[in-house]
Amino acid sequence: MSNFINNQKWRYATKKFDASKKVSEADLEILKDAIQLSSSSYGLQPYRVFIIDNPEVRAQLQPLAWNQSQIIDASHVLIFANNTNFGENEIDAYIRNMAQTRGIPVESVQGYADFMKMKINALEPEVKSTWTSKQTYLALANLLNAAAELKIDVTPMEGFEPEKVNELLGFNNLGLNASLIATIGYRHEDDATQFYKKVRKSKEELFTTI
């Protein structure tokens, strides 16, 4: 556990990446595993993750993300896109996956499927979209923790224009919305913010025992 805490102290939202350093395919697969294994409501994972590797697409993406240099200089750019119209089809697909993975008949978990449909279908579209967007942050947390263990830097980003990103990447046609961006790579030695002390609330201010 001490390693976990030390990793949290080591990590920070990197402001300047070393564009000459790339995350290896092996380490990228570990990060993808961490995202894949993230917790989510009902286990549904109502989102997709896009790895933007094409330099031309990244150049088009940068002005939509407030011209932040990380979009270009980071080793990889990940966009977490939540499903904006999550419903019965997605739940049925999840149930089929569950049945196949666990070697059980679909009928044995039909009650769970019906329960999820009842709860999720009752949500207003805006509420449902907010709910699916929140799930992407759980996946981001796993990415942050796994990357810190590998000493890979991550910059979580909400500073971008989702509507324009959706248009650029065709997300609207896929029923998706750009919820958040995470750039990954290795900090540049000239990034002064890596030496800043973390500013956090004290435990006395942050925690309340009732």
Q: What's 171's domain CATH number?
A: 3.40.109.10
Q: Is residue 41 part of a domain?
A: yes
pLDDT of 2 reads 83
Percentage of the chain beyond pLDDT 70 is: 100
As for how many domains the chain has, the answer is 1
pLDDT tens per residue, range 69-101: 999 999 999 999 999 999 999 999 999 999 999
Q: How far apart are CA 174 and CA 20, in angstroms?
A: 34
pTM of the model: 0.95
Q: Is residue 90 part of a domain?
A: no
DSSP 8-class letter at 67: T
- Are 94 and 117 within 8 A, CB to CB? no
Q: Is residue 10 part of a domain?
A: no
pLDDT tens per residue, range 17-65: 999 999 999 999 999 999 999 999 999 999 999 999 999 999 999 999 9
Residue 1 has pLDDT above 80, yes or no: no
Q: How far apart are CA 29 and CA 32, in angstroms?
A: 5
Q: Strand order in 176-185's β-sheet?
A: 47-52, 76-83, 176-185, 153-157
Expressed as residue numbers, the domain containing 28 is 15-85+130-206
